[in-house]
């Protein structure tokens, strides 16, 4: 047996015997083109890399597992650690997300849709790393975004057709008038979206006409800096002629202030537009794109997964369990997010459930079980809680939704 193999077996055996493991973790930001060059570094108190820093992953997802930066597992990935502990891999992934430009227009599948799609693409021989692949695993990917910036702007879900018609009817342009005529009612949304994604050359012409209207200083109504026309202008500048420019007029432009959250269930069409936030999701990488991206667009699959019903913007209100404690609980068991602020932990409190958690300190100084101190930018993996957390500042904790 090699020395390295012996060492690895030794630390795995040690980790498996431990209960209440606390590990300091860190990662490198993902450099997607839409990312901010400064926001994540400023939040975590680090020097920016100079490249776009879009997402900072804190979890054991194989796409970018966090690294353990202290003993007994220093230098190992968190994925190595969790596979050796009771409970195995985390059912969730937490990220810091910083969007300087719009993300793709996308949906995520339900569990049943993911299982079927993953099996279908496997059977057809599409490689897991093929950019044309929509299903990287057989899991769903509901997600929650908690705003840190003011504002955090997102497109999310469809608004009532009457609201879209009201705004579009102000445009004196034949192709826009024809589009309004297609919007016969809420039940028409699925067919309208299918047409917009069909490749009809008229769609690009329509997108251009809407962009011209959004940029016209003689617009008949004052343009809300965070409303529909501002969204059209922003998208058209980055993706001229894209059908997503037109689809955005049918959707909610949601403006979050710090401390507010959205929950995006399966089938919800969305696109984060700009801002900094904490994102928590089921541990999946299944993204089905419909536009606003140079990446693979799978129109047929998006239409199959899409929830085209007009629904209220999916804001998620927290449960305030006590002053300074806010818990955001979606309708899935995979994850929830707890936010603790100010002096709420001055006298200490038990945090986390029986399963594992990921803790990120956003400011202040806190201690965990009296043995680990965290300050701004520090992150911990916590197994088999609860843990005594004390100090002052602001901390976010992702865990299973028990």
Q: How far apart are CA 334 and CA 399, in angstroms?
A: 8
Asked whether the beta carbons of 310 and 189 are under 8 A apart, the reply is yes
Which candidate, 284, 334, 30, places its Cα nearest to that of 136? 284
Q: How far apart are CA 364 and CA 237, in angstroms?
A: 40
Q: Which tokens belong to 157?
A: 């879900």
263 pairs with which residues across the strands? 144
Compute the chain's Rg from CA coordinates. Answer: 23
Other residues' Cβ atoms within 10 Å of the Cβ of residue 304: 15
Query: What residues have CB less than 8 Å from 162, skipping those under 6 apart?
Result: none
The 3-state secondary structure of 93-159, one letter per residue? EEEEEEECCCCCEEECCCHHHHHHHHHHHHHCCCCCCCCCCCCCCCCCCCEEEEECCCCEEEEEEEC
- What angle do helix axes 201-214 and 174-182 make, rounded to 10 degrees? 110
Task: Give the DSSP H or E segment for 207.
Answer: helix 201-214
Q: Which tokens belong to 378?
A: 């520090």
Q: How far apart are CA 81 and CA 356, in angstroms?
A: 12
Catalytic residue among 30, 289, 309, 315: 289
Q: How far apart are CA 251 and CA 38, in angstroms?
A: 29
DSSP SS3 for 360: strand
Q: How far apart are CA 244 and CA 207, in angstroms?
A: 8
329 is known as an active-site residue: no
Q: How far is CA 290 from CA 135, 304, 313, in A?
A: 14, 12, 20
List residues with catalytic annotation: 289
């Amino acid at each position: 047996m090699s020395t390295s193999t012996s060492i690895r077996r030794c630390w795995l055996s040690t980790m498996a015997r431990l209960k209440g493991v606390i590990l300091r973790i860190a990662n490198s930001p993902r450099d997607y083109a839409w990312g901010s060059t400064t926001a994540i570094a400023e939040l975590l108190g680090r020097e920016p890399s100079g490249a776009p820093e879009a997402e900072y992953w804190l979890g054991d997802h194989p796409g970018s597992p966090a690294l353990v930066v202290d003993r007994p597992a220093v230098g190992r990935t968190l994925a190595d650690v969790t596979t050796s502990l009771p409970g195995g891999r985390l059912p969730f992934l937490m990220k810091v997300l910083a969007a300087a430009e719009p993300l793709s227009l996308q949906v995520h599948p339900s569990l049943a849709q993911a299982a079927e799609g993953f099996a279908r693409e496997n059977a057809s021989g599409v490689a897991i790393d093929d950019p044309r692949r929509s299903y990287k695993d057989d899991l769903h990917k509901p997600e929650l975004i908690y705003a840190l910036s003011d504002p955090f702007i997102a497109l999310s879900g469809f608004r009532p057709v009457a609201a879209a018609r009201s705004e579009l009817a102000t445009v004196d342009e034949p192709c826009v008038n024809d589009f309004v005529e297609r919007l016969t009612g809420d039940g028409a949304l699925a067919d309208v979206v299918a047409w917009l994604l069909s490749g009809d050359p008229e769609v690009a012409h329509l997108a251009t006409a809407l962009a011209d209207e959004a940029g016209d200083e003689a617009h008949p109504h004052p343009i809300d800096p965070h409303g529909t026309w501002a969204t059209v202008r922003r998208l058209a500048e980055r993706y001229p002629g894209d059908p997503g420019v037109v689809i955005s007029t049918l959707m909610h432009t949601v403006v979050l202030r710090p401390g507010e959250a959205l929950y995006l269930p399966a089938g919800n069409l969305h696109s984060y537009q700009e801002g900094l936030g904490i994102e928590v999701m089921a541990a999946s990488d299944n993204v089905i794109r419909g536009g606003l991206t140079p990446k693979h667009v799978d129109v047929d699959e998006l239409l199959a997964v899409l929830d085209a019903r007009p629904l209220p913007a999916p804001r998620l209100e927290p449960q305030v369990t006590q002053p300074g404690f806010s818990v955001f609980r979606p309708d899935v068991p995979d994850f929830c997010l707890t936010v603790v602020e100010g002096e709420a932990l001055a006298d200490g409190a038990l945090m986390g459930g029986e399963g594992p958690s990921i803790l990120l300190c956003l400011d202040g100084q806190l201690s965990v079980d009296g043995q680990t101190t965290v300050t701004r930018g520090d992150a911990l993996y916590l197994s088999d809680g609860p843990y005594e957390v004390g100090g002052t500042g602001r901390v976010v904790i992702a865990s299973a939704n028990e």
